[in-house]
C-alpha cells in the first residue's frame, strides 16, 4: 500500500484489503451489417408467408376453400398443388373415393341407433335387416355439400335416410316373399328411393346391399312348410298336366290313325273301281290276270286271233310226246 492508506495498484490489477477486483482487457469486435441481416430476415418471412398459401390436394380428395372475407368459394380444388391467399383462405379436404356405411347387428359399436334395421313386413311380422350402402360425394358439388351439410353428412343424412327407406321398402312385401323370391325387388325399391335422396344432398349412390334378412324362427318354419306344400301341389299339378297332355296325344294319334285308315280305304276303293272299269273296257286283262295267277306252275299261251281261250302248253307237250312214241315203230317198218 501506498503511504496514506490508499489501495495499492500492481500492473493492471487493483487490490483493496481482503477483496480483489480484476479488470479484464476489452476486445473491440467489428459490428455486423444490419442491412444484410434485415434482408435475410425479410426473405425468410416472405418464404414462410408464401408457404402458407401452398396447398396440396391428395389423390382421391377434393378441396373446398373457405375465405374469411367471402365465405365458401364455389370452385372446388382437385388433386394437385394449389395456391391460396395465406391466412385468409382455409382449405377443407373431402374424401371423394367410394365409401360405405353398414348398419348391422355385428357391426362395431352396434347399438339401438347404429345396429341392424328393424322393420315390419306387409302382414306386420318383425324383420331385421343388415344393410350396406356404398356411395361417394359429388366432386363438382363438394362446395355446396360443405356449405349445407358439412363433414358430418353421414350422421345427419345417410344413416337416418337409409333406415327410413329400408323400413318403407320392407313394408311393401310379405315376409315369405322377402326371404324367398322378392329379395332383389326389395333392393331395387330401396335403391330407387335412396338415389333420389342422395342426389338432393349432393351425394352419389353406388349400390345398396341387403346382407341379411332375419325373421323369427317359428314364422320361418311356418313359411317353409307352406312353401313345401305349395311345391308339392305344383308337382301334382304338373303330373296332371302331363297326364292330360298324354291323353290328348293318344286321342290325336287315334284320330290320325282313323283318318289314315279312311283315306287308305278310299284309296283302295278308288283303285278297285278303276280296276273294274279297266277290266270292263279290256276283257283281255282278265285272261292276263288269270295267267299271272297260274304262273309259274302252269304254262299257258293266250291266242287272241279268233277268240278268247287259253292253251295249256303242258297238255300239248304230253300229246306231242305220245304221238312221237306211237309213230316211231311205223317208221322202222318202212325202212329198207
| Cis bond upstream, residue 296 (ω within 30) | yes
Q: Over range 31-58, report the average pLDDT.
A: 81
- 89 has a pLDDT exceeding 80: yes
pLDDT at 198 (0 to 100): 96
Contact predicate 86/49, CB 8 Å = yes
The grid coordinates listed for 210 are: 341387403
- The residue ranking higher by pLDDT, 149 or 294, is 149
pLDDT tens digits, one per residue of 188-197: 999 999 999 9
Query: Which helix (H) or strand (E) element contains residue 221?
Result: helix 217-281
- 10 has a pLDDT exceeding 50: no
- 210 has a pLDDT exceeding 70: yes
Predicted confidence band at 50 (pLDDT cuts at 50, 70, 90)?
confident
The CA–CA distances, whole Å, from 234 to 138, 178, 273 equal 50, 21, 58
Q: Look at residue 323 and give its three-state secondary structure.
A: helix
302 vs 289: CA distance, rounded Å: 12
Q: Over range 315-336, report the average pLDDT.
A: 46
164 vs 103: CA distance, rounded Å: 12
169 vs 153: CA distance, rounded Å: 23
- 44 has a pLDDT exceeding 70: yes
Contact predicate 321/331, CB 8 Å = no
If 0-12 CB within 10 Å is exposed, 13-18 middle and 19+ buried, where does residue 79 land? Answer: middle
Q: How many of the other CB atoms lie within 10 Å of CB of 293?
A: 9
The grid coordinates listed for 199 are: 342426389
What's the CA dihedral at 137, 138, 141, 146 to 10 degrees?
Answer: 0
pLDDT at 292 (0 to 100): 65
Read off the DSSP letter of residue 87: T
pLDDT tens digits, one per residue of 90-138: 999 999 999 999 998 776 544 445 688 999 999 888 899 999 999 999 9
Q: How many of the other CB atoms lie within 10 Å of CB of 176?
A: 22
Q: Look at residue 317 and give its three-state secondary structure.
A: helix
The grid coordinates listed for 37 are: 441481416
pLDDT at 131 (0 to 100): 94
pLDDT at 14 (0 to 100): 46
What's the Rg (C-alpha) of the chain?
61
The grid coordinates listed for 287 are: 285272261
pLDDT at 336 (0 to 100): 38
Predicted confidence band at 326 (pLDDT cuts at 50, 70, 90)?
very low
pLDDT tens digits, one per residue of 26-40: 555 445 577 888 888
DSSP-derived pairing of the beta strands 117-120 and 89-95: unpaired
Q: Over range 185-214, report the average pLDDT.
A: 93
Q: Over range 53-77, report the average pLDDT.
A: 93
pLDDT at 216 (0 to 100): 75
- The residue ranking higher by pLDDT, 6 or 38, is 38
Domains of the chain, each with CATH number or no CATH: 49-95 (no CATH), 99-215 (3.30.479.30)
Q: How many of the other CB atoms lie within 10 Å of CB of 3?
A: 5
pLDDT tens digits, one per residue of 265-303: 777 777 777 777 776 777 666 666 666 666 655 555 555
Predicted confidence band at 304 (pLDDT cuts at 50, 70, 90)?
low
pLDDT at 324 (0 to 100): 43
303 vs 317: CA distance, rounded Å: 17
Distance of CA 280 to the CA centre of its chain: 82
151-155, 263-267, 331-335: least confident range: 331-335
315 vs 310: CA distance, rounded Å: 12
- 23 has a pLDDT exceeding 70: no
pLDDT tens digits, one per residue of 242-265: 878 888 888 888 888 878 877 777
Amino acid at each position: 500500500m501506498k503511504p496514506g492508506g490508499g489501495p495499492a495498484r500492481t500492473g493492471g490489477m487493483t487490490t483493496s484489503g481482503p477483496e480483489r477486483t480484476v479488470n479484464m482487457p476489452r476486445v473491440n469486435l467489428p459490428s455486423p451489417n444490419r442491412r444484410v441481416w434485415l434482408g435475410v430476415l425479410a426473405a425468410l418471412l416472405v418464404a414462410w408467408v408464401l408457404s402458407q398459401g401452398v396447398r396440396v390436394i391428395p389423390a382421391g380428395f377434393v378441396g373446398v376453400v373457405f375465405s374469411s372475407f367471402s365465405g365458401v368459394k364455389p370452385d372446388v380444388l382437385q388433386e394437385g398443388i394449389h395456391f391460396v391467399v395465406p391466412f385468409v383462405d382455409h382449405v377443407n379436404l373431402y374424401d371423394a373415393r367410394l365409401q360405405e356405411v353398414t348398419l348391422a347387428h355385428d357391426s362395431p359399436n352396434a347399438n339401438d341407433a347404429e345396429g341392424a334395421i328393424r322393420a315390419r313386413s306387409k302382414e306386420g311380422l318383425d324383420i331385421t335387416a343388415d344393410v350396406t350402402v356404398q356411395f361417394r360425394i359429388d366432386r363438382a358439388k363438394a362446395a355446396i355439400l360443405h356449405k349445407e351439410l358439412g363433414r358430418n353428412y353421414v350422421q345427419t343424412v345417410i344413416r337416418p335416410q337409409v333406415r327410413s327407406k329400408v323400413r318403407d321398402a320392407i313394408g311393401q312385401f310379405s315376409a315369405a316373399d322377402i326371404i324367398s323370391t322378392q329379395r332383389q325387388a326389395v333392393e331395387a325399391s330401396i335403391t330407387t328411393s335412396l338415389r333420389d335422396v342422395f342426389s338432393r344432398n349432393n351425394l352419389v349412390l353406388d349400390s345398396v346391399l341387403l346382407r341379411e334378412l332375419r325373421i323369427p324362427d317359428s314364422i320361418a318354419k311356418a313359411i317353409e312348410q307352406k312353401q313345401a306344400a305349395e311345391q308339392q301341389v305344383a308337382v301334382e299339378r304338373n303330373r296332371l298336366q302331363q297326364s292330360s297332355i298324354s291323353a290328348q296325344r293318344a286321342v290325336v294319334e287315334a284320330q290320325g290313325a282313323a283318318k289314315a285308315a279312311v283315306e287308305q280305304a278310299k284309296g283302295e276303293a278308288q283303285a278297285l273301281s278303276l280296276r273294274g272299269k279297266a277290266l270292263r273296257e279290256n276283257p283281255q286283262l282278265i285272261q292276263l290276270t288269270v295267267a299271272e295267277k297260274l304262273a309259274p306252275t302252269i304254262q299257258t299261251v293266250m291266242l287272241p286271233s279268233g277268240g278268247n281261250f287259253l292253251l295249256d302248253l303242258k297238255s300239248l307237250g304230253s300229246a306231242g310226246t305220245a304221238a312221237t312214241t306211237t309213230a316211231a315203230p311205223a317208221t322202222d317198218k318202212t325202212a329198207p
